[in-house]
Amino acid sequence: MDPKEYSIKGFGYCNLSLAALHSEPDHRSEMVSQVLFGETFSIIDQRKNWRLVSCSLDDYAGWIEAGQYEEITEAEYMRLLHGNTPVSSELVQVISDNTHNRFFPLLLGSSLPGIDEQSFRIGQTEYVFEGDIRQPGIVDLQAGLLQAAFLYLHSPYQWGGRSPFGIDCSGFVQMVFKLVGISLLRDTGQQVSLGDVVNLPSEVRAGDIAFFDNDEGQIIHTGIIIDSKHIIHSSGFVKVNRFDHFGIFNEKGKRYTHKLRVIKRIL
């Protein structure tokens, strides 16, 4: 669905650990993505207890249950959109909602807009977070990117997932880049349109993104290159595998599991 086909009806942010985005306004429909705490979106349609939202990070659209987010004004949305937004850099930590006297888990890569000395405000709610954070604008992006990637190591694969407790291949790539302050599109087919082509596998460097296709030529998988011989990606779980100009080689199974299509450079 193209969010540009809809008019904006409001704005919101995820005020929970995470919330699912569905393909239809029904819990039984496919989960197409997730929004993490602090991530904002515009509301573009509604049906009963569901809202169709377009995420600020990547313009990705999906249906969220009305009770799983908090509405904010347009002015507050714009403040959050253009302000400094560090992210949580721990797998899981506790965040306190002092306004409503509650606390809940905060997951790796959650947004902490305007945090200053452990406190920040979104709308009318005051939050306190005492865990580790990453500020945008890491000097050594390649080192920071690989460090972020290995935080997700062994996280289980989950279609539509964006957290260390379940993450798909493109969600993994997107979240790793978010941790170093770079916004990417959500799906593999969208991400392949970004960056510059690396012509030869021998020319790759850490942080390049590899894309893989099926027999019909459709881009179906992606991962982050560690070096000329290794890649980290989410397939079954986040893992490191051998990599060469043919694709990803599984040493345990003694076979290639993914066929290389193209390598792109974002950094």
Active-site residue numbers? 169, 221, 233
Q: Where are the beta strands (DSSP E) in 117-195?
A: 119-122, 125-129, 133-134, 162-163, 166-167
Is the distance from CB of 54 to CB of 41 less than 8 angstroms?
yes
Long-range CB contacts for residues 70-73, cutoff 8 Å, separation at least 24: 70/12, 70/13, 70/15, 70/122, 70/123, 70/125, 71/10, 71/11, 71/12, 71/43, 71/123, 72/11, 72/12, 72/13, 72/40, 72/122, 72/123, 73/11, 73/123
Question: Under 8 Å CB-to-CB from 170, ≥6 apart: which residues?
Answer: 186, 187, 188, 190, 191, 222
